[in-house]
Structure 1
Amino acid sequence: MKNSVDVRTLLSVYEKVKTQGQHFENSCKLEDITCTESPDGYCVNLADNNVSLDINFHNTYHFHTMNEDPESVINQTTTEFHNNNEAQVQEFIHKLMQLDKRY
């Protein structure tokens, strides 16, 4: 996937969700974005219903989609599978950017 996003912006969104969102036992939620962090604080996660984003130490990140395994998706070609996942990730990034602007 060709997702080059600014890690500072992602961390800004994470901080906004954490400080302005509704707090639960192990997470915070603002609008439909949920954030969590690892016990050691070296990895944070932002997620909605379709996409999850891990932001790791040294500003590396990885997107996960709900249907990551092309073998588990029936009636889709590999190209369709990758296009669907890319669309989900792009929508998620857009959602994060909008949240960053609103708060």
Structure 2
Amino acid sequence: MKNSVDVRTLLSVYEKIKTQGKPIEFGSQLEDIKCTESHDGYSVSLSDEHVSLDINFHNTYHFHTMNEDPESVINQTTTEFHNNNETQIQAFLKKLEEIDKNY
């Protein structure tokens, strides 16, 4: 994965969505980004319609995209699959940067 993100920034965005977003079932939403947290508070998630991002204890994180399995995507090479996922993740990160900047 080409992404190198600052976990502190991600947590800052999470807090902004949580405090300034509208309440939804199991979390909050600001613009089209939703945030939720685990029942124990050790992990939080940020998501939109294409990507979800889990931020775990010890500042580890993992991205999930709509099409996680290259074998399930018809008529797409593995390279195209990875490029598509990377494009979705980069667009998602741009949304998070905008929220961080604007709120």
Q: Which residue number in structure 2 is paired with residue 87 of structure 1?
A: 87
What residue number does 2:70 align with? Answer: 70
CA distance in 2, matches of 1:26, 1:86: 27
Deviates more, 1:20-29 or 1:62-71: 20-29
Q: Determine whether 1:47 maps to 2:41.
A: no
RMSD between superposed Cα atoms in Å: 0.5
| C-alpha displacement of 1:25 | 3.0
Match of 2:16 in 1: 16
Q: How many residues align?
A: 103
Distance 2:80 2:25 in 1: 38
Q: Percent identity?
A: 77
Aligned equivalents of 1:24, 1:79: Cα separation in 2: 36
Runs of 4+ in 1 over 3 A off after TM superposition: none
Deviations 1:54-89 (A, max 9, x none): 000000000000001001101000000000000000
